[in-house]
Amino acid sequence: MTETADTQPGWFSAEELESIRGRMPVLYVQAVPVRVDDVGQVTHVGLLMRATPDGSFHRSVVSGRVLYHERVRDALLRHLEKDLGPVALPRVPTAPQPFMVAEYFPTPGVTPFHDSRQHAVAMAYIVPVSGDCQPRQDALDLVWFTPEEAVSPQMREEMTGGQDVLIRQALAHVGQAP
């Protein structure tokens, strides 16, 4: 059974969501999945491959809305499981503090972050994962890149909406500025 506005509290129909997106900012969480070594140094960054409705492909981080009456930590865990699978074993802190807040605007150039559908505010987290990741839902694939590969010109070309800026900021936050 798929979750719809009729079966899942906090979900909107496509028409309701479009109306809301046109009138107010929507709250999102974003997670940069990473693999870390024994001393906590980031060794790899996980980037999802997604398809867009126009048939193009792009790389991105885990991202999704926070539902009404849902704790931020719970939203993070829900989207990590949705995108990485049930055995990814994410280590979300008990009191999640974002490494940054990204403001997405439908108008390009207001910030480095752009989403043509809406004005959105995303709390961004770096989340170590240690389990087996199997992309699900609209994620087609997950590839682990070294920090250097994740910020390479080739990867920047494969990311849209400022995702490349998010990755650079995440790596700078953990002391691995490119």
Cα 110 to Cα 6, 25, 156, distances in angstroms: 36, 14, 19
Q: Using an 8 Å Cβ cutoff, are 142 and 136 in contact?
A: no
**Rounded to two decimals, what is the model's pTM?**
0.86
Q: Where are the chain's structural domains? A: 28-173
Q: pLDDT tens across 125-166, in order?
A: 999 999 999 988 778 899 999 999 999 999 999 999 999 999
pLDDT mean over 78-98: 92
Could you tell me which residues are beta bridge partners of residue 114? 105
| Beta-sheet pairing, 120-128 with 26-36 | parallel
Q: Look at residue 4 in the predicted model and tell me its pLDDT.
A: 42
Q: How confident is the model at residue 77 (pLDDT cuts 50, 70, 90)?
A: very high
Q: What is the 3-state secondary structure (H, E, C) of the chain?
A: CCCCCCCCCCCCCHHHHHHHHCCCCEEEEEEEEEEECCCCCEEEEEEEEEECCCCCEEEECEEEECCCCCCHHHHHHHHHHHHHCCCCCECCCCCCCCCEEEEEECCCCCCCCECCCCCEEEEEEEEEECCCCCCCCCEEEEEEECHHHHCCHHHHHHECCCHHHHHHHHHHHCCCCC
CATH number of 28-173: 3.90.79.10
Q: pLDDT tens across 44-67, in order?
A: 999 999 988 788 899 999 999 999
